[in-house]
Amino acid sequence: MTRLLYALLLSLTCLHGECLHYKARFEKPSEYPERELVPDALVAWDVDFPGYNPPYYVSPTVLKQPSWAEPEEVSIHPLNIEGRTGIAGRGLLGKWGPNYAADPIVTRINPETDQLELLVILRKDCQQWALPGGMVDKGERVTRTLTRELQEEAGLALDFSEARIVYQGYVDDPRNTDNAWMETTASHLHLPPEQSAQSALTAGDDALSARWIPINEALENLYANHSEFVKLALNTNPNK
C-alpha cells in the first residue's frame, strides 16, 4: 500500500476518533525530511519494529540554541508518549520531550446572524486556521500565556484567570518527532454580547489574519487537533 493511500484510509478512520496521532505521522513542516511510514500496529514503543530507522532532524534554528532551545547533546533521548512518528530528533521544537503551549478558545454569538462563532488566526508558518495559542515561557503561568498570546496574535485583551480548562495533554502536531512533542492547556471563554461588540481584532506576531468564523467551519479543519479542543469546549458546556 502506498504512503498516500495509507494516509487517506487512516484519515477517514480518524474522523471517527479512532486514530493514533495521525498528523504527527503523516504531516510535517516543509523543512522536515520525509517521515518513515509507521503503521497503526507498530506505533507503540513496546511493539517490535524490526528495521525502524527514522531520519534524524533538528532545525538549524534550534541548533543555534536560542533562549527557548535546549542543548543538542543529551544523555538520554525521551520517547514520544504516543509512540513512533517516523522522524527522530527535535525538528522545530526547542525542548527534548514535552514542549508546553497554551491555546485560548474564545467564542461569541454573532450579533447580526445569531450564530455561535470562534476566534481563529491564520498561522504564518503553514497558512492554516488555528486557535491563537503559543508556547509557555519559562516560569510563566498558563493563564498569563493565554492572555499574552491572544493579545499578540489577535489584538484582544482578555483575562483568562476564570477561564474553563477543557483539555490538558498531548497535541497531535505536525512538528512532533520521536523525541520531542507538543502538550497544551486549552481554556475556554465565552464573551457576553456587550464585550463581544467591543472586541475588534488585529492580527499580529505569528498571525497573518484574525477573524471570527461560524463554529461549524471551525470544527472542519483547524491546525493540529485544535478542532478536538473546540468540540470538548462545546460538549462540556453546550450553551457556550
Q: Where are the chain's structural domains?
A: 99-236
Cβ within 8 Å of residue 152, ≥6 positions away: 134, 204, 205, 206
The H or E element containing residue 194 is helix 193-197
pLDDT, mean over the chain: 87
C-alpha–C-alpha distance, residues 199 and 66, integer Å: 34
Q: Which residue has the higher pLDDT, 237 or 63?
A: 63
Give the right CATH number for 99-236 from 3.90.79.10, 3.10.129.10, 3.40.50.1950, 3.40.50.720. Answer: 3.90.79.10
pLDDT digits (tens, 9 = 90+) for 188-230: 999 988 776 666 777 776 778 888 999 988 887 888 889 989 9
pLDDT band at 6 (very low <50, low <70, confident <90, very high): very low
Report yes or no: 155 and 209 within 8 Å, Cβ to Cβ: no
